[in-house]
Amino acid sequence: MLVQIAVFWGMGRMNNECMAMLAEQWRQICQNYSADDLLHAFHFVQEHSVILVEEFYKNMLLEKESAQFLTDQMVQQRLRNTLIQWLSESFSVPINKSYVQAVQKQAMVGHVHARVGIPSWLIMRGVREIERKVFELLQASSQNSMLTACSYIVQIMGFATEIMCRSYEAKTAMNQEIKHSYRVFSAMQDVAVQKDKQRSSLLDWENELMFKVFSSPDNLKHPMLSKSEFGLWFIHKASYAFTGSDQVDLIIERIYQIDAINQTIMDCTDKNNVLGLIQQIRDLNREIQLLVDQLFQVAEYIESGNDSLTQLLNRRYLNTVISREITFSRKNHTPLSLLAMDADFFKTINDKFGHAAGDLALKFIAEALQKYSQGSDYAFRVGGEEFLLLLVDTDKQRALSIAESIRKYVENGMIKTAQGQQFKITISIGCTLYDGHPDYQRFLDAADAALYMAKNTGRNRVYMAQSPSNPVGQQ
């Protein structure tokens, strides 16, 4: 389901012809060495794989640039064994004659590196550490075949890395194209609706503040503008859509200026000072409104990123959006949640009432997602009767509350066909909280696994994935 969507949507430009060419090149490299040489190298790598991997991660963890991708816990729990396996498999290729599979493996590794955002130079840095340790170990062995073994090992390490980088560059180029396309799309997606909606949201925040100040000045509590409907929408959507516009940085600056003044009001006991501070907020809000209007003046509607039936986002921008929000979450230590949803027994509805009725059911589910999400959240129809809802700045409590509200809304609704038939539908929902890992595929996998559990424990329910040990944004 979601796993296949994320992995195969935009695999890059390494087609079957390219794979076959690289497999033949790998075979030719191996043909330059005797069977004994190949076997000796394989046994050497197997024997010393643990030492090589320990050396690799010891040095990589010292690199400042690798800190955002590697942690001691991640290395010990997952990556250490993965690298040991990679070394063993890379040098068993001529023994097993598995050249095509080996190329596919390297391409997938490169794809994952691009997905996570690991720079290619950092990969080369790690390979250099392994090669250095190989030379050190071979020199200590004092074997006559040392030079031949070095030659072969260096060639295979370099060639495997070359394949990774090919896949990496292809995927990165495609990502850049999609990101550019997404900026244009998101800037223009629902301009007319969002302009009025967000203007109203900004005024509502301001009016609510004034009401609280004048009606109950003691023990004032009012959310920051950056955490309001308007603030979250602008920071997570509009700022990205209008990247490069002068107005964006100004608006964000004004939002945080207002947050600072708002906090001062919460702590202030002098009513006269409060009135002056409120006027400052009003002035800054008028400036924000003017700047937002200027941004919307350049926007037009583009539908290519919408699902034509539900008008939710389609899967075209799924990876781009999730990757960006994960980066934001990691950088700012804010929580991020994901809901994976699937209509229960959807085929039965199509079979009994027809596909037009099925379309009505999908529209109804989309309506539920839009009703209970905020302007900063992202709702997707990713295929068939499957939906995703990415909830920004959202902890476990809010995520579960939204999921249950959506579930109840769908369960209690009545869908009417053009022929006057009536029927109900239910949905299963898997919920997960982002755990801080840079690979968005793990995030999607966790939501998909939770959805699977919801469906296999009775359907029409919300299942929360097992809480990660250290979720982002949680203490």
Backbone phi, psi, residue 186, to 5°: -65, -30
Strand partners, 324: none
- What is the biggest distance separating any 2 CA atoms in the chain, rounded to whole angstroms? 89
Residue 465: DSSP 8-state = P
Strand partners, 87: none
Residues 104-129: b if buried by 16+ CB within 10 A, e if exposed: bbbbebbbbbbbbbbebeebebbbeb
Indicate which residues carry an active-site annotation: 385
Round to the nearest angstrom and report the end-to-end CA distance of the chain: 32
Strand partners, 429: 341, 462
Strand partners, 336: 392
Distance of CA 97 to CAs 25, 89, 90, 134, 149, Å? 13, 11, 11, 24, 19
Alpha helices in 142-190 (DSSP H): 146-188
Residue 428: DSSP 8-state = E
β 462-464/427-433 pair status:
parallel
The tokens describing 17, both together, are 């012809």
- The Cα–Cα gap between 369 and 344 comes to 16
Residue 317: DSSP 8-state = G
| Helix (H) or strand (E) run with residue 336 in it | strand 336-343
